[in-house]
Structure 1
Amino acid sequence: MLPLELWVHICFFACNGDDGTTGRSLSFVSHTIRTASEDFRLRTIAVRGELQIARFAQYLESVDVKRRKVENLYITTWAPGSRRSSDYGGYASAQSEQALIDLYRPGICDRTPGPEPEDILEDREELLCHAISRILRAVAETVLIAHIKLDAYRDFIFFPVKFERLEELTILGPFECSYMAYIPHLPANPTLRRLKLNYVALYHDTTLLDSIAACAPNLTHLYFQLSNPYQRGVIEQLQKILCPQKTTDQRPGQFLMSLKMLQLHPGQKSPPGMCGTGYATIALAKRDLYNYCISEPRIVLRNHPPFLYRSTHSAAEEREAMDEWMDRVEGGLGCWDDSDRMKSPFTP
């Protein structure tokens, strides 16, 4: 039998190459392996679906803080058989909803300002966001990479959690970004360097940029998948990101001086069948956006993927998000790979 110290090293590497399945399985091998893997069992873990989210939050809060050593975390609201997938079954939905209700505790991870407890209990999306906040709060001291795929709409941008070591955060899902009152209550995360968001709309009175400046004051890499890439005002907002006021302090209202790369994903190509006027307007906007982006070396403008209609809850999109997270965990570039940057003008 190998000495325990050697098994500890073996378990360290074994628990870093998948979605947490290996770490959980090691618990059942033997008492020695269970002991050797205890510190690494949750090192890399994926949580899928509302029921797992509720149960994992409950589990984390039931164990000693020293055992919550999650470094790489993936959370998705999508799971086979859930109400967010095509093979939805009512029983699974009812079970997960009850688990979310049972988990809810007012006064823990509340947003300021935020809904009243009685309103949260009547809103499944709020209950789900509360459960995710509880998970993030439980691992806030150790997590380094957190990717969250949240199909539920949220009326806020960032979860109300302060992280001690977080370096990379991805939040996929539609959100509201017009509530200025949230910004003074956002905890700052000075270790956060990379941030990815989708469903991003850049417009005149958005609070998105101020919120990012407050939440991630030392950000170096930013990825936006735009929902309005060819509307008026987008270029003006990009200029605010890349050309902030040069002052000695960093506060909401100014953007980041530390930013090195801004990746822009323009979304899918427009569907066929557009009228001539609309098509011409978009073509001109494409030209203007491209000309601006090639003038700024920090911008990486991604190529359009071809137009493809698919549900936001599709298994293909889920696999894409999961693969991107695993690539980052294994030391790859993930979405920060700029090899597909646009190098030639837009083609109408």
Structure 2
Amino acid sequence: MDQLPAELWIYICSLACTDGGPTGRSLSLVSRRFNELSKPYTLQCLALTTPKQVRLLGDILERPGSQGGVKSLFISCPDLSQDGDDDDGDYVDVGSDSKTESTSSSDSEEKSPEGEGMDVGGDTDDGEGGDYLPLYLEERAKIAQEPTETAAHGSEGSSPMSTDESHLAQLSQLDEVIRKKDENAIDNLLRLLKLVSDTLLILSVHWTSMESYLIEEMIPSLPNLQELCIYRAFTGEDEVEPQTEEPAPLLFPSLKRLHFGGYADERPGSFSQYLSGLAPSLTELRCSIFDLPELENGAENRLPPTVSRIIFEMSTLSQYNAEIMPSEGAMASLVSGGDGTASPIKLEFPGLERPYGMGEWERQWLSRADGGCGCW
């Protein structure tokens, strides 16, 4: 260390801290000197896999003199109804001059083996299908089947409560607890993203909640963001995809690449108008072809003229692929409006057996953070 200039060590630290957090955390513990040299990059690339980690990172960045500098961020929120407590404590406490309270994909995999959690529709964390309901739905079913004799008699001095009323009251209380946890998680997500909005370049979000949210209810304006991968799912039995009469807000003026999955906002106007309002500089788009209902109704000007590449994910198990995509030439005409004036769009159609799970979403983000291709 005495023979190399500090600028070289700083450059090495900038290249090393691209793995979701563990390298930056380790470098900060080597020595006081390395702690000082690596500090600008300790929080450069972070993977957060629980709502608690999102909240605590926000606490760190709000401290006076916080280094910040978050450029690449992965955030996931598993179905909160599966776990009675998101307090898994996968953190190293951050002192005033050492350590980082970040988590890593490797750390989270050790504490939460892949396949332990479930996505909406029975997907496990690694994208493999399952036959399970989210836990809170199982609890709802269990409550609905179990007799509660004491509740049926009512409390002293009150009117007797029927068994059905008691069950409904329990179900309502369970839903309210989960809904409150969801709201707190969303509030902490917004707070964190506002704190890193000036430096954030790559963001990947895999979020499951009880209710569906508009994109501006989850993500604030990020003026320098270059890439966004976002998957949103909800577990509520009676919820529908979020609808609004407002046009899409300008959240990502510098965004070049967008990968989205799960549900999408329902807004007035075409999908092209939605993307143009949200990310006017967009050049590459990736999504499931089934997430674009407009492709079936013949509307013009599908996508903004800035878009030059589209990756449509096709299910290898679907029998409707041939009907939706008769040929690449026809699809190109469809997505460009069919008037021949739009610039050529490069189309790709990868086949997937099943939608991405949280584990795959994180692996693709990690590839991009480390300079790889990821989902692109």
Q: Report the TM-score, using the length of structure 1 for normalisation.
A: 0.67
Q: 1:276 corresponds to which residue?
A: none
- Give the one of 234, 251, 254 matched to 2:295: 234
CA distance in 2, matches of 1:283, 1:217: 30
Task: Give the alignment partner of residue 266 of structure 1, picking from 314, 338, 341.
Answer: 314
Pick one of 212, 223, 228 that aligns with 1:154: 212
Q: What does residue 193 of structure 1 align with? A: 256
Query: What is the Cα-based RMSD across aligned positions, in Å?
Result: 3.4
Cα distance, 1:200–1:26 mapped onto 2, change above 3 Å: same
C-alpha separation in 2, matches of 1:204 and 1:63:
40
1:216 Cα offset (Å) = 0.8
Q: Which residue of 1 aligns with 2:56?
A: 55
Q: How many residues align?
A: 272
1:48–1:28 CA distance, 2 compared to 1 (3 A): same
- What's the CA shift for 1:257? 2.4
Q: Determine if the alignment matches structure 1 residue 257 to structure 2 residue 305.
A: yes
CA contact (8 A) 1:161 1:187 kept: no
What does residue range 149-298 of structure 1 map to in structure 2 within 5 Å? 149-152=206-209, 153-158=211-216, 159-174=218-233, 176-181=241-246, 183=248, 186-199=249-262, 209-227=272-290, 233-236=294-297, 239-242=300-303, 256-267=304-315, 269-270=317-318, 282=320, 285-288=323-326, 292-293=330-331, 295=333, 298=345
* 1:319 equivalenced with 2:359 (yes/no): yes
CA distance in 1, matches of 2:266, 2:251: 24
Preserved CA contact (<8 Å) 2:229 2:259: yes
Q: Residue in 2 aligned with 1:101?
A: none
Instruction: String of CA shifts for 1:290-310, please: whole Å, max 9, x gaps.
Output: 66325565252423323x5xx
Query: 1:202: how far off?
Result: 9.7
Does structure 1 retain, via aligned residues, the 8 Å contact 2:54–2:75? yes
Is 1:124 aligned to residue 181 of structure 2? yes
Q: Distance in 2 between matches of 1:208 and 1:177?
A: 15
Structure 1 partner of 2:370: 330
What are the superposed Cα offsets for residues 36-65 of structure 1, whole Å, 9 maximum, x if unpaired? 011111111111112111211222222436
Instruction: Give distance in 1, aligned partners of 2:371 and 2:253.
Output: 22
Matched residue type, 1:293: M
1:178–1:207 contact (8 Å) kept in structure 2:
no
CA offsets, 1:210-263, max 9 Å, x none? Answer: 33222211111111224456x6x4244674324xxxxxxxxxxxxx22111122
Secondary structure of the structure 1 residue equivalent to 2:225? coil
Residue identity matched to 2:324: K
Secondary structure of the 2:255 match is coil
Give a deviation string over 1:153-201, Cα, whole Å, max 9, x none.
Answer: 5320244522232111111113835312263xx2443211111111256
AA aligned to 2:245 is: M
Whole-angstrom distance in 1 between the partners of 2:287 and 2:86: 34
Q: 2: CA distance between counterparts of 1:267 and 1:201?
A: 18
By relative contact order (CA 8 Å, sep 6+), the higher-ranking structure is 2
Q: Distance in 2 between matches of 1:136 and 1:191?
A: 16
Residues 59, 298 of structure 1: CA spacing in aligned structure 2 closer, same or farther, 3 A cutoff?
A: same
**In structure 2, C-alpha distance between the alignment counterparts of 1:267 and 1:241, rounded to whole Å:** 22
Identity of aligned residues (%): 24
Deviations 1:262-284 (A, max 9, x none): 221134523xxxxxxxx6xx366
Structure 2 SS opposite 1:325: helix
- Which amino acid counterpart does residue 240 of structure 1 have in structure 2? N
User: What's the CA shift for 1:12?
Assistant: 1.8
Contact conserved, 2:61 with 2:68, CA < 8 A, in 1?
A: yes
